[in-house]
Chains A and B, each alone.
Chain A
Amino acid sequence: MMNHIDVSSVLRQTLACDLYSNLVTRTTGAAVRTQIEQLVGESRERALTVIDFSQVSMIDFSCADEIVAKLLMRYAADDAPQDAYFLFRGVSDDHWDAIEAVLERHGLALVVEHEECVRVVGVLSDDERRAWEAIHRIGPADAQDVAIETTTDAATAREALDALCRRRLVMQVDGQYVAVGDLRG
């Protein structure tokens, strides 16, 4: 199942005001994240949610920390409320400085979609990055396929893929690994 959340719409509902399209302040960020979590929580099954920044003018560090970092950390935690995955859309250069800073600060990574292409950004180990790129290139696959694609051994590939699953950057479907963003229905 795939959800689409337009962050600027959530922002307007949160502020009860149509005037601004800026994601600024920690208070606003926390309120927007709470709304996003409610929307994500409406789907009980495993869901991929597109977090769409296309209509957002700017985001500051505090807001990026509240929305992006805390969202990713909550659903990647051992006690995550549900099996949720995120694809970030419409992230422009104007948003990137703040988002990159919080990803680095927390050691996080996320999947972004830009002009129909998806890629993983943020903090990953070399093995994780190679495994994600391999699975994105070859499509749904098992650890052995990824090991061949990345010219490594199956145990290393499986370790990297399992870490990516825990980080919500890869999901397991019918016993195979799939890069988030590659199954968009």
Chain B
Amino acid sequence: MTQVITVPPSLDDFSFEQVLDQVAALPADAKLLVDARHVRWASPYGLTALLTLAQTRSERPTLAVPELDETLSYWARAAFFQHAESVYDLTGSYPKRRDSGESNVLLEITPIAKSDDVHDVVGQVQERAQKIIKTELKLESKAIIGFAMTLSEICQNITEHAGRGGWVAVQSYRWTKRLGRRVVVIAVCDAGLGFRRSLESMPGHLPTARWDDAAALEEAVIRGVSRFRERGRGQGLAGARNYVGRWNGKLSVRSGTARISIVPSWDDDVPLAEGLSPFPGAQVQVIIPEAVPGGGSER
């Protein structure tokens, strides 16, 4: 019997938890109909997480596409349908071709599986990010290189640790609801090993008394621990953490049943959320906001 999963009208990292809560109650091999007909807006995280959700199912799920033309058009520009066709059976009518008009999509949804993919992604984003970070976010030019470095390191989290491919998307938009300013957002999602299993594969790993997804995220994101013993490992997420701190941004990493966040003053998220519905792999989001006029963006 097909189980219907209702996608909330506004799909971002928070509301995606509602999707996972519904999925968690079902057996792993249940056939899903992911009903996105009433979705009006989705963040890059929402779109990449939807693709990732399909990768976690043993039975190929069905996705009912949004009904709103504007939403369909944006999802098409973000290359969502192009990739969704490979992991979902799609129902409903949607644009087969991408609209080539002006878009705030810095990087359409792109699969990441190997090192060359990271080169492609960084190369594609660099030129457009330069314009958006300088003119729209009004940040110093130093923020541009840091942005590309952060994107590269987060994508490498997939190639180095996930054990299977994932997705990346980058977009800029005015975040009226939460911030009232423009933001640029990176979302990188995979359905691979996840942080806990990755760290457990470290030679000689001895789990602590409290060893769970939250502890694994603290080890990796806060203490820079990697499954590789080399001293130089674990710098990627540390670099991303420093970057968001410097530009007053937000970093959140979800894995398994926990989410850890570097929370800026403009956000009211918790630093560590535990006991979430399980979701394999790792899902990373970076948000860099527009500088406050007169105040700069640096802390």
Q: Which residues of A contact B (CB under 8 A)?
A: 15, 17, 19-20, 22, 24-28, 57-58, 60-62, 65-66, 69-70, 93-94, 97-98, 101-102, 105-106
Contacts and interface: CB of A to CB of B under 8 A. Distances in A.
B205 interface: no
Max count, chain B CB within 10 A of own CB: residue among A20, A25, A69, A93: A25
B228 to A, nearest CB: 9
Majority-rule SS of B interface residues: helix
Nearest 6 pairs between A and B by C-beta?
A65-B232, A27-B115, A61-B235, A24-B152, A25-B115, A60-B152
Majority-rule SS of A interface residues: helix
Contact of B126 (A27, A57, A102): A57
A180 to B, nearest CB: 23
Contacts of A27: 115, 159
B115 A101 contact: no
5 contacts: A24-B122, A25-B156, A62-B156, A65-B232, A101-B238
Contacts of B232: 65-66, 69-70, 102, 105-106
A105 B235 contact: yes
Given A15-B119, A26-B160, A60 B149 contact: yes
B160 A97 contact: no
Contact of B148 (A17, A26, A58): A58
A15 B236 CA distance: 22
Given A27-B115, A106-B231, A62 B123 contact: no
A65 B119 contact: no
Contacts of B119: 15, 17, 20, 22, 24-25, 28
Given A58-B145, A97-B145, A20 B123 contact: yes
